């Protein structure tokens, strides 16, 4: 009696390739989620400032200008933080590979 297998066993090289592809996909999705988070926080801050201006009965043009400024500032600082984090991660990875030599 012979036993037949339906698929060949995965080799170490195949497993490494699968892990590499999964890691790339997760990294790309993580960047998108961070960008979405920055956008959400920027909009929320702008809306909070607008709500405060309305509650304090300020002129509508002043409210719009300040809310836009706050939202743009939050977005810019979030993108800057995202970029700095990415650079730090890349440098840490290079430092680790340099030290392991």
The pTM score is 0.70
Q: How many domains does the chain have?
A: 1
Pick from 20-29, 53-62, 74-83: least confident: 20-29
Q: Is residue 94 part of a domain?
A: yes
Q: pLDDT higher for 25 or 68?
A: 68
What pLDDT shows up at residue 91?
A: 92
In which region does residue 57 sit, left (phi positive, over 0), alpha (psi from -120 to 50) or beta (all else)? left
Q: pLDDT higher for 36 or 13?
A: 36
Per-residue pLDDT tens over the stretch 40-71: 999 999 999 999 999 999 999 999 999 999 99
Q: Which domain holds residue 47?
A: 20-99
Q: Is residue 9 part of a domain?
A: no
């Amino acid at each position: 009696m012979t036993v037949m297998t339906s698929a060949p066993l995965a080799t170490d090289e195949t497993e490494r390739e699968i892990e590499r592809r999964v890691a790339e996909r997760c990294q790309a999705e993580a960047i998108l989620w961070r960008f979405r988070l920055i956008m959400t926080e920027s909009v929320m801050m702008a809306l909070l400032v607008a709500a405060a201006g309305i509650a304090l009965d300020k002129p509508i043009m002043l409210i719009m200008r300040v809310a836009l400024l706050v939202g743009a500032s939050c977005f810019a600082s979030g993108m800057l933080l995202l970029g700095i984090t990415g650079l730090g991660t890349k440098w840490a990875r290079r430092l680790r590979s340099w030290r392991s030599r």
